[in-house]
Amino acid sequence: MFKGSLVALITPMRADGSLDEGAYARLVDWQIRQGTQGVVPVGTTGESPTLTHEEHQRAIEIAVESAGGRVPVIAGAGSNSTAEAVSLAKHAKRRGADAVMVVTPYYNKPSQEGLFLHYTAIADAADLPLIIYNIPSRSVIDMSVETMARLAQHPNIIGVKDATANLARPLHTRRASGADFVQLSGEDHTVLPFLAAGGHGCISVTANVAPLHCAEMHRAWAEGRLEEAMAIQDRLLPLHDAMFCESNPGPVKYAASLLGLTHEHTRLPLAPISDAARSRVRAAMVDLRLLD
């Protein structure tokens, strides 16, 4: 159910910074029509740290309504407060999300036992599929393979979004947690090596603006057309680079604005991206023929 090209959705906002519900609904529909196999609202790329609870919940509702059962919706439900994460996960279940994605608690720096207890509490309370989001570069802590294997024994904990960029990690995770434990890359640059190491798909930032290319790359890989998949990967590389030339989601929201999908606005403390970054993003999109 959770495989292939999934998108870490941006949260469309108007120039005044308010949630643009119409643009959000259109974005989800466009993604699905372009071949995206799953949508992930209100993760880090969706600016979840600066959304109100009401906005967070509404974004999930829009994603579920717009997807209309065509593809799974994996709702962001992470927090460094276990009680808050439980509340967000319960809301996602009530509103019809197919799963939740829960980031490792940032700033608190819990022990491995703390991580185990945190995720177990959420999985027990929410009773829907849960995907661990392991991103040490942002949350400071790194869930060990051993802790993840313990959590994989829980019937509701079904996979991981792995943003470590460590290509040995999916090999060890597969060995420790089993081939059915869903492994989704959270790092666009290394998608194909990740798949080769036992991964099942990618939750992509780049797919916000190049969903067709990302979906075609995953389809080519799944059908054994490896040279074609690698050729698409090569074409996407400059765009991947551009999407992370400044703090995410600044570059991708600017790219989305160039396509007319949404305004480029991001909430403070994220600043508007620099002129140099704008030039780099535009050049990468022209190179991929997303823009003239």
Q: What are the residue numbers of the active site?
A: 133, 161
- Cα-based distances in Å from 174 to 43, 159, 163, 245: 24, 10, 16, 31
Determine the Cα–Cα distance for residues 143 and 158; give it in Å rounded to an integer.
Answer: 15
Closest alpha carbon to 4 in 211, 215, 210, 197 = 215
Q: What is the dihedral of CA 267, 75, 149, 173, to 10 degrees?
A: -70
Name the residue among 106, 188, 180, 171 with its Cα closest to residue 143.
106
- To which residue do tokens 């029509």 refer? 33
The one-letter code for the residue type at 174 is R
Number of DSSP helices (H) and strands (E) in the chain, helices first: 12, 8
Phi, psi (5° rounding) for residue 53?
A: -60, -40
CA distances (Å), origin 120, targets 47, 104, 147, 289 = 25, 12, 11, 45
Dump the DSSP string for 113-164. Answer: HHHHHHHHHHHHHH-S-EEEEE-HHHHS----HHHHHHHTTSTTEEEEEE-S
Task: For the beta carbon of residue 1, count every other beta carbon within 10 angstroms.
Answer: 13
Question: Hey, which residues does 76 pair with through a beta bridge?
Answer: 101
